[in-house]
Amino acid sequence: MPTPARVVVVPQEQGQPLEVVDLDLPDPGPHQVVVEQYASGVCHSQLHTIHNPRTAPAILGHESTGKVLAVGSAVEDLAVGDTVMVTWVPKDERTARRQGAPLHLDLPDGRRAATLNVFTWATHTLADEMFVVKVPDAIDRESTSIIGCAVITGAGAVLHTAMVQPGDSVAIFGVGGVGLSAVAAAKACGADPIIAVDLDDEKLDFAKRFGATHGVNAGTVDAVATIRAMTRQEGRFDILRNPLEGVDYAFDCIGVPVTMRQISEVVRAGEFGLTRGGTAVLVGVPQTPIELDSRLMFIGERSYRCSLGGSCSPGEDFPRFLDWQAKGQLDLASLVTARYPIDAIDDAVHDLEQGRIAGRAVLTF
């Protein structure tokens, strides 16, 4: 039978307030589940959808915790009553190989709202089983809701995209929810130093609680020059006989042109004849193209990689991150720094836009 729900809808017309719409979710299709939600993360990347042109109303949100209320006839590994996390990345190889389709909701006024895969800014959601992972019942229902995007994106970039090893040097640009997850993962991997880069001294101090060893305020100093000076290695030289400077891995958790370039400039060159150069990893969602210094990249054998969803497999990685939380390696309770009811979604989005969220904001239901 249909499930009553309250869902945040982004109107098709830009610049209009977000709507909280009461509607009935349909019964699940063969591979779908209905989830009553406990909490949902408010991700910075959703601002791109809100501010970019669209051809239909949109439904947003892609990380949450909840309880399964109904399952489709072909669902194999989920059952009514299961505690679950919803994410936007297919949970395993079996489900990922099934193509799936964008999801649409019919609104009471005749409009049709759309999302590419999931929506979690809602009291209840309808999702393909590929995006729903069973987890233990005893989880912290609010703080773990951010694992499905913030944590897998930031921590996964360190673990899987870059595969950081003990002793590697790391710089992380942007220490919001995603960046702090990257900091925590870098610490868990044994990286040293772990350099946090941001424009806010309070955020830089906050990052040290998650494992950052140094903070660089890019609004007051030249971040690239500062980090190069901090990481100068006497006795090791690039092809031009300059001492090596820079980090092994630099992560851009913002995705704006200046930081996308900076991470390419702050990774070290290779030691000529012995090692390859460092790797820049783009984690934040880019909205514009950039130009890189190809000579700098070539001469130093530097690499530039992109990380989508932290290269994660949620079915395997969610238990890992829950274990980190249990062991105190990932302080999710501190990472969630703001909570809002669904009717305050405009406040949540405004605070996010204004940089008032130190870590991650969540909607609680």
Label residue 45 by pLDDT band (50, 70, 90): confident
Residue 285 token pair: 């969602």
Asked if 262 contacts 292 with a C-beta cutoff of 8 angstroms, the reply is no
Confidence at residue 95, expressed as pLDDT on a 0 to 100 scale: 85
Average pLDDT, stretch 118-131? 97
Confidence at residue 287, expressed as pLDDT on a 0 to 100 scale: 85
Answer whether residue 355 shows pLDDT above 90.
no
pLDDT digit string (tens) for 189-243?
A: 999 999 999 999 999 999 999 999 999 999 999 999 999 999 999 899 999 999 9
Pick the CATH number of 150-309 from 3.40.50.720, 3.90.950.10, 3.30.300.30, 1.10.3720.10: 3.40.50.720
Confidence at residue 331, expressed as pLDDT on a 0 to 100 scale: 93
How confident is the prediction for the chain on average, in pLDDT? 95
Answer whether residue 12 shows pLDDT above 80.
yes
Would you list the domain boundaries of the chain? 3-134+331-364, 150-309
pLDDT digit string (tens) for 127-148?
A: 999 999 999 999 999 999 999 9
Label residue 358 by pLDDT band (50, 70, 90): confident
Q: What is the pTM of this model?
A: 0.94
Please tell us whether the domain made up of 3-134+331-364 is placed in CATH 3.90.180.10: yes
Place of tokens 């390859």: 276
Share of the chain above pLDDT 90, in %: 90
Confidence at residue 101, expressed as pLDDT on a 0 to 100 scale: 78
Confidence at residue 279, expressed as pLDDT on a 0 to 100 scale: 98
pLDDT digit string (tens) for 46-103?
A: 888 899 899 999 999 999 999 999 999 999 999 999 999 999 999 998 888 887 778 9
Q: By mean pLDDT, which of 159-168, 179-188, 325-334 is the weakest?
A: 325-334
pLDDT digit string (tens) for 227-286?
A: 999 999 989 999 999 999 999 999 999 999 999 999 999 999 999 889 999 999 999 999
